[in-house]
Structure 1
Amino acid sequence: MATGNKVKQRAKSKEQRTKGAAIFYITDKGLVLAEKLKGLYPDVKVFKFKPDTVSEFWGKHKSFIFIMATGIVVRAIAPLIKNKKTDPAVVVLDEKGRFAVSLLSGHIGGANNIAKQIADFLGGEAVITTASDVNNMPSIDLWAMENNLVIENWESVPEISARFLNKGKLKVYSDIRISMPKGFQTTDNPDSAVILITNKNNLSTHSPIHPFTHLYLRPKNLIIGIGCNSGTSASEIEDAVKGALSKNRLSFLSVQSIATIDKKGAEPGLLSFAGKYNLKINTFTPDELNSVSNVEKSEAAFKATGANAVAEPAAMLASGADKLLVRKQKIGNVTVAVAGQRAKSKEQRQGKLYIVGTGPGTIKHITPYAQNVIKESDVIVGYGTYLDLIKELTRGKEVISTGMTKEIDRCQKAVGLAMSGRTVSVISGGDPGIYAMAGLVFEILKGQRAESREQRATSGRHENYVESPMLYAPCAVSVEVIPGISALNACAARLGAPLMHDFAAISLSDRLTPWKLIEERLESAAKTDFVIVLYNPKSMGRPEHINKARKIILKHRAPETPVGIVRAAMRENESIVVTNLRDMLNYDIDMQTTVIIGNSRTFVWENRMITPRGYEKKFKI
């Protein structure tokens, strides 16, 4: 099927016109803090505060950060505020950066996220007052925006949101496939739904005698095929399109793009109409249009353009649909046809699977990229303890929590969800590639792919499959591993610099690896003078493994060899011990502990473990 050419619009969207953040300060201390924030927002613009300056830049920046008293900010921006759909994000900071207050446009403008980012960066506290965030529930308007749904009746949002907060659930009717947040209950009956996700008008039969508030969310899935005479005005095209949609009970807010013949791609009236509503124009050649069957042909169109028809085949080609929602309507100098964007089939939808390392567990130790990935995912899958540490990031998400020994179950569940076309994050403490989830996920995917190939070989089905390194039955899955701070990184940082030379990491868990093999690896690492990092050193089911490991290492190391024992690194209940091989068993060791055993040259200084790299042999230090 032809895809056509995309004509760039002259009008830029608001997002393209506006710049990044602007910071306003009053005092010298405020300026110091503003300069510090450049480490978080490199492109930020910094201004000395003047009320006139704020009004000058209002509408030119997407977000404003004020370092001053909240009252000053309120008085400065009050005359400039219009509505939540267009107002920029406003965040207020005190001079010491202790509090980041989300003041305006918390959801749509992103002020809540900005406040959290700043608080994390400065080590302060984000002050968020939006009810959905305070009650750990999804925001309806933000969820709609993230899913490219246009809110038709904004005046109903407060009432519907209050109902959701009070009851914890809402009935939703949707005629498109979409991932629902927690508390949204789908129904096939639009009359019983509070939220209607549809491109159709007048779905509900509720009469004015029995009023019932609905919130209409419009998916952008209508493609308008247009043919017109040369010189047709933008207003005539707009009237024709809106008239055809209204007549067929379809919402103009659901229009995604328009389509026409290539000769009309530069028609001034069409460009003006498309620019007014930020609509993409798809154009097709006469040959491409003539390749579509089951359309109403026009001799006049053929004589003028070489195409048997324009509006109908253009709409079908641009949408990928094999039928029309509205056949050609001739309205004055304009012909209009409407097609619905074809929903991707299960085989065509590419799911996304992120394997995310959350490091020690605190939000500030998770990379910004990993935080964003978690926030953008439909489903979060992980071990309950790790999920508890990142509740702030999973608010409003579908969360699947499993126990400690259920790794295979949760990874299989995550793979299955991603294969269905959803975006899934598998949460892994530390780094996902070190004794964690990344390997298991890839093993499961490899098995699924082998199973798929076997099914294809026996069924002879080949036409819907494309060879790719990331193709797994029944659909392609995009997989990305997001690194995190591993236990050995975190513990080494707490101890000083014990891993400055070659080291070996060995897990003492024999749940998946035979103990005999673990002993051989311990022997080899100790004999060759590697610094040794012991993972999973002791559990209730195997209390003697750490003692056995110590005995093996003592055959090749002196009893005074430095040993670092770190439990719950970088968490509230953290404990750090620097001792030696002789005395190490005198301290508490469990599954949350990582043990680092130095090599023959490791020494202790100022209660820190240091393993020399060898600089002192070549350079004067």
Structure 2
Amino acid sequence: MAAIATTPKAAQLLQTLSQSTGATLWVPGSLASIENAQIYTSSLKDQIASIWHEYRAFVFCLATGAVVRAIASLVEDKSRDPAVIVIDRDSRFVISLCSGHQGGADELARLIAHQLDATPVLTGASASLNLPGIDILGLPFGWRQGSGDWTKVSAAISRRETVQVIQEVGSTLWQAHLPQGHSFYFGFPDDRESISPKARVWISATKRQFSPDADIPKVQWHPRVLWVGIGCERGTSRQLIEVAIAQVCQHYHLATEAIAGIATIDLKADEPGILEYCRDRNLPLKTFPADSLRQVSTPNPSSIVEREVGTPSVAEAAAILGGLGEVGSRRTEDKGTRRRGNGETGRQLTTNYSKIQNPLIVPKQIVKLEGEPGAVTVAIALSELEYTGRTGQLLLVGTGPGNLEQMTPAAKTAVTGADAVIGYSLYLELIQPLLRPGQIVESLPITQEKQRAQRAIELAQWGLTVAVVSSGDCGIYGMAGLVMEELQALGWNGKIPKVEVFPGITAVVAAAARVGAPLMHDFCTISLSDLLTPWDVIEKRLEAAAAGDFVTALYNPRSQTRTQQIITARGIFLKHRNPNTPVALVRSVYRSDEQISLTTLDKMLEFPIDMLTTVIIGNRSTRRHADWMITPRGYSVS
């Protein structure tokens, strides 16, 4: 990413942004004193032209008209042009100017706006309809774009015309998270329905040829669900392997874009032709020992092959194992209902081919090429779950007390940039403005923390970037520990999926800020919920905190069914503290229904206390002054 500034104020703004994003800051020679900046001495227009193809995104702090004039001759095609962002000099607005979808300018504008606490300006039709762009729909799942008239299909969607979607393979999660009132129609109409689509979207492993004279515009996405099994003689050329795969796909009307990977026997793990083909196509290579391949039932076993390599099938068996390996032990469908349009819910990874009786869709084909020695055997299996080609990430996010202004810019960026966001419904409602079209947003009840963690890990293992949100700090009574425990139980190597923790303002810190400075000396936090901790353990901790003169914050003090714990806790503290010890009761801190009560230890139960209340009990030196609560640190006051 390149950041372009032409004035001192703009340079200062973009310098801070560059430090947090890794962008290269470019300034004219008149601003040569700016630290960590690249200097250009030509005109702005010539400078942009010289670096246009070196960056995937350009961020200008400049008048929009000046930017338009600078890039006008450089803009070619939205599928190739870099993203172009414009920020006004007061950093109030972040404008997605060019390549909003495929270039990623819309998402980048949202991310930068969260960094600057600004308003993103998105003018594309899909943004106004709260829909993902049809030309970027499959990117999170690793889908490959096929042929079609993307501009006309996008136009039909923007006009809210009926667009028929025929999805034969791949994840249907995107369907489950469309807004109400969308204009997509899924599947084929029957005789009772009068559906007249104005555009069509195919999501398939099949390669379709669209006539330029078709009555409606069409496009196709290709989920990567095809595993190609290969058998070949030693020394077979890359060219022959490529021709063989292309010929077989063409004969069976399969898209090479839908290839997930190549599979073969481990004896071929160093075969140059196979390695070169995988490298050039950026495809994974899976190899299996003969013992594993021999266990697979195939339609065309060969005794000759068995004598040579120890298994009656290489190409067919490897293709089947390659495809099954993508599913492994992971669930592909949840117990929830599937969604096919409005009104239903769904959390499955995929609903298509969830019970493949025979994954081998192309039996072995032997291909020879005139002038090339040897032969290649090709077989193709259909995987239940597409290959994303991505390394999954888990972003463990603390959202703070509930007001977006109290959430860190990094945490906001993590939520907006994630493919999927998982959390308790109340927390998701509080961060609703951060969510964007096309995201997978799943809420689970407050008692299903373990299921939340498992679901997040499942999606990350598949290759998605998943934000798991907790109120306050995710590492304090939040989801961070549970997610990492679950990863550990699965034998996590500490690297894949990647994990990043984003801290947040926890409840005790937020509550303390609203009542003054009660935490100026040693303090502790204790949850009174005995769902996960035995009550006798909690009582011991309360006794220790009270006897040790810690300022103490009580979390989860009272629920509808759990009412005695707060009474017992107060009784323990009364044994060690003066009845007049200041106590703060802060409910729904920083939220619209915030309630603050300052009282004393002996009278605290006269006030409403529930699960949304944080109770702060002062120590022996804590005092109250007007409407503030202060715990002296011990500094001398003159």
| Distance verdict in 2 for CA 1:284–1:115, change over 3 Å | closer
| Distance verdict in 2 for CA 1:317–1:126, change over 3 Å | same
Q: Does residue 175 of the first structure (1) align with residue 164 of the second (2)?
A: no
Q: Does residue 254 of the first structure (1) align with residue 258 of the second (2)?
A: yes
Q: Which runs of 5+ in 1 are unaligned?
A: 1-20, 447-467
Residue of structure 2 aligned with 1:469, choices 489, 493, 508: 489
1:498 aligned residue: 518
Q: Choose 429-438 or 73-82, whichever is displaced more.
A: 429-438
1:408 aligned residue: 447
- Displacement, 1:22? 0.7
Confirm or deny: 8 A CA contact 1:298 1:308 kept in the other structure.
no
Map 1:40-59 → 2, pairs under 5 A: 40-48=20-28, 50-59=44-53
One-letter identity of the residue aligned with 2:521: H
Confirm or deny: 8 A CA contact 1:381 1:414 kept in the other structure.
no
State, as a whole percentage, how many aligned pairs show the same letter.
Answer: 34
| Distance verdict in 2 for CA 1:167–1:578, change over 3 Å | farther
Confirm or deny: 8 A CA contact 2:316 2:379 kept in the other structure.
no
- Displacement, 1:67? 0.3
C-alpha RMSD over aligned residues: 5.5
SS in 2 for 1:75: helix
Confirm or deny: 8 A CA contact 2:245 2:378 kept in the other structure.
no
CA deviations 1:216-236 (Å, max 9, x no partner) are 1112344374869989796x8
Confirm or deny: 8 A CA contact 2:56 2:83 kept in the other structure.
yes
Q: How far, CA to CA, are the matches of 2:614 and 2:529 in structure 1?
A: 13
1:200 aligned residue: 206
| Distance verdict in 2 for CA 1:127–1:286, change over 3 Å | closer
- Displacement, 1:333? 3.5
1:216 aligned residue: 220
1:6 aligned residue: none
Residue of structure 2 aligned with 1:340, choices 360, 380, 402: 380
Q: How far, CA to CA, are the matches of 2:451 and 2:263 in structure 1?
A: 42
Confirm or deny: 8 A CA contact 1:160 1:194 kept in the other structure.
no
Confirm or deny: 8 A CA contact 2:415 2:467 kept in the other structure.
yes
1:331 aligned residue: 369
Residue of structure 1 aligned with 2:121, choices 127, 130, 134: 127
- Displacement, 1:361? 2.7
2:67 aligned residue: 73
- Displacement, 1:116? 2.1
Confirm or deny: 8 A CA contact 1:412 1:441 kept in the other structure.
no
- Displacement, 1:328? 1.7
- Displacement, 1:57? 1.0
Q: Choose 352-361 or 65-74, whichever is displaced more.
A: 352-361
Q: Does residue 358 of the first structure (1) align with residue 399 of the second (2)?
A: yes
Residue of structure 2 aligned with 1:383, choices 425, 438, 448: 425
Confirm or deny: 8 A CA contact 1:559 1:581 kept in the other structure.
yes
One-letter identity of the residue aligned with 1:166: R
One-letter identity of the residue aligned with 2:94: A
Q: Does residue 90 of the first structure (1) align with residue 84 of the second (2)?
A: yes
Q: How far, CA to CA, are the matches of 1:290 and 1:438 in structure 2?
A: 40
2:31 aligned residue: none
One-letter identity of the residue aligned with 2:508: L
Map 1:300-315 → 2, pairs under 5 A: 312=315
Map 1:220-299 → 2, pairs under 5 A: 220-222=224-226, 223=228, 225=230, 241-256=245-260, 265=272, 271=276, 278-280=281-283, 282=285, 294=300
1:163 aligned residue: 157
Q: Choose 590-599 or 501-510, whichever is displaced more.
A: 501-510
TM-score by length of 2: 0.68
Confirm or deny: 8 A CA contact 2:588 2:595 kept in the other structure.
yes
- Displacement, 1:535? 2.8
Residue of structure 2 aligned with 1:566, choices 586, 593, 609: 586
SS in 1 for 2:56: strand
Confirm or deny: 8 A CA contact 2:170 2:385 kept in the other structure.
no
Map 1:535-546 → 2, pairs under 5 A: 535-537=555-557
| Distance verdict in 2 for CA 1:541–1:226, change over 3 Å | closer
CA deviations 1:340-373 (Å, max 9, x no partner) are 3663689xxx999877543223446157368536
- Displacement, 1:564? 3.8
Q: Which runs of 5+ in 2 are unaligned?
A: 29-42, 179-183, 325-358
Q: How far, CA to CA, are the matches of 1:259 and 1:500 in structure 2?
A: 62
Q: Choose 21-30 or 177-186, whichever is displaced more.
A: 177-186
1:460 aligned residue: none
- Displacement, 1:201? 2.5
One-letter identity of the residue aligned with 1:331: L
Q: How far, CA to CA, are the matches of 1:237 and 1:518 in structure 2?
A: 66
2:327 aligned residue: none
SS in 2 for 1:146: helix
| Distance verdict in 2 for CA 1:70–1:537, change over 3 Å | same
Q: How far, CA to CA, are the matches of 2:452 and 2:162 in structure 1?
A: 26
- Displacement, 1:513? 8.5
- Displacement, 1:425? 6.0
1:463 aligned residue: none
SS in 1 for 2:149: helix
2:341 aligned residue: none
One-letter identity of the residue aligned with 2:120: A
Q: How far, CA to CA, are the matches of 2:71 and 2:586 in structure 1?
A: 50
2:336 aligned residue: none
SS in 2 for 1:200: coil
Confirm or deny: 8 A CA contact 1:170 1:185 kept in the other structure.
yes
Q: How far, CA to CA, are the matches of 2:128 and 2:427 in structure 1?
A: 22
SS in 2 for 1:59: helix
Q: Does residue 487 of the first structure (1) align with residue 507 of the second (2)?
A: yes
Q: Choose 568-577 or 140-149, whichever is displaced more.
A: 568-577
SS in 1 for 2:174: coil
Confirm or deny: 8 A CA contact 1:248 1:326 kept in the other structure.
no
2:131 aligned residue: 137
Q: How far, CA to CA, are the matches of 1:343 and 1:479 in structure 2?
A: 27
One-letter identity of the residue aligned with 1:216: Q
Q: How far, CA to CA, are the matches of 1:307 and 1:144 in structure 2?
A: 40
| Distance verdict in 2 for CA 1:200–1:56, change over 3 Å | same
- Displacement, 1:62? 1.6
